[in-house]
Structures are given as structure tokens and as C-alpha cells.
Structure 1
Amino acid sequence: MIDYIVGNLWLIWAIIMFGCLILELSSGDFFVTCFAIGALIAMGASFIVPFWAQVLVWAVCSVLSIWFIRPKLLRRLHAGGEERLSNADALIGRIGIVIAPISPGHSGYVKVDGDEWKAVAEIPETIEQGSKVEIISRDSIIVTVRVI
């Protein structure tokens, strides 16, 4: 068994690489990906150099990846700016259909992408069922809409 492992060190580096990539799925900051890159290069080196040199190649390449590759990956990920709206905040600007009439002083319901939201009108007017509306703001679980 030991002879097999020593003769196939590339397999150990492949396991380390895939393990790092799986761990990266839970973090998403490309830090662990740099160790996977180092393991990939060490896997190639395993056919040429002894184990101690492979570990050195892995460490050096991982650090170099953190310094040079990670910043480029992060810039690419955050190309749209630092503010990335998600969940309910991403509703603003979306178009929905009124499924329960919205009358002055009362709320109704709007359907947006299959989800129903409690809604109030921007100005005191009645918005009939079936009208298309745009979401202009959100306060907790209540959205403010205007007719488009």
C-alpha cells in the first residue's frame, strides 16, 4: 500500500486539489482555490521531483496564487460594484402584477416572479387587479408600488 502511494503521489495531490475546491464552495472568497491551484501544480511536479520538493512547490505556488491570482478573481467577481442586492432588496425596480386590489389607506397584494408581496400604492389611488406595477421601495415585508 505504501509503495502504491509513493509511486502515485499525483493521486494525493489530486485529492487535495478536489478537497480544496469542495471547501471553496462553502466560502466563495477564492482563498482556498489558491491552495487548489498550488496542488494542481504540485501534481504536475510529482512526476519530476521528490516529495519534499512537491510540498515546497505547493506552498510557493499557493502563496503566489494568493498574491497574484486571487485579487484578479475577486475583481472579476465584484465587477458590478460592492453593493450586490439580494433577496428582498433586489425587488426594487422589478415589475409585478396586482393580484388583490390596492386602495387608498389599505394594502393589496402584488405577484413578482411567482412570489406574493403585500403592497401599498405610492400615491393615494386605487390600483385594480391585473394592473402592472413597478416596485419603488420596500419597508420590511411591504412593498410600495406605482402603476406603469
Structure 2
Amino acid sequence: MNAWVVWLIIALLLGVVEILTLDLTFLMLAGGAVAASIVSAISGGNLVLEVLAFVAVAILLLFAIRPRLLRKLHQAPGAGALSNADRLPGQPCMVLEPVTTQTGLVRLDGDVWTARSASGAQYPVDQQVYVQRVDGATVVVTDVPLKPAGPTVQA
């Protein structure tokens, strides 16, 4: 059997181990084995060159490529993007049950949210209030609309 075929089989086995571990280490080693296979096919089976190619490419992949890939994989989806809760401050809502500093219910965009007063004021049923901030699953409301963030352009 040709040496390049052996290196490809090793790369395949390392790929299978990578699928089982999902750690990207064995994928980098498989890349080294593919490089060794290419060197073997070109050099006609020089074992020293094959091993050097395997080690060099595997180390390069492990220390240069793998950390970047891991950062990308572990990055939160949509990192830097605003969440739905980030768009709520300033939104108007209608009081369904009296809102105090401790408890209350409001209707916000068709959904019912628990609410509490930001200023200590009490808001009666059917009063329009505005979301000041979101605190977990509770909106903190005020009767004063929030000013838009940033400069406004006047026409």
C-alpha cells in the first residue's frame, strides 16, 4: 500500500474522532495528515518529509487556526445585535391592573407584562404609561415618554 493512502486513512480516522469529540483538535491533526499525504505523493514516500509536514501543518493549524475557529463557534448568535427587550424602552402600554412600585399588569404590543412603577407613583387601570426599562420579565414604567436617544434632525 502506498504511504499517501495510509496518511489519508489516518486523516479519515482523525476526522471520525473529531466528529465524536467536536473539539477541533483532531480536525487540525487530520489537516496535518492530509498535508503528509500530499508530501508523500509528491516525494515518493520519504517518511521524514511526511512526518515533518504532518507536525508542521498540525502545529500551525492547532495554534493559528483553531483558536479563531473556537472563538467564532463560542460567540453568541447575533452578538452585538439588539434583542427584542432592547426595543421596548419608550414603547407605550396600557395599564390592566393598578401599577405600584411592587406589582401591576400592562398590555404591551398585545402581550400582558408584569409591571412596576419607576417613580413610586401609582397608575390606575386604563392609563397609558411608557416602558422605562426591562427588568427580567417585568417592565418598569413611567407616565412620561422617553426622549429619543441621540440628536434629532429638524426639517
Structure number with greater Rg is 2
Q: TM-score, normalised by structure 2?
A: 0.47
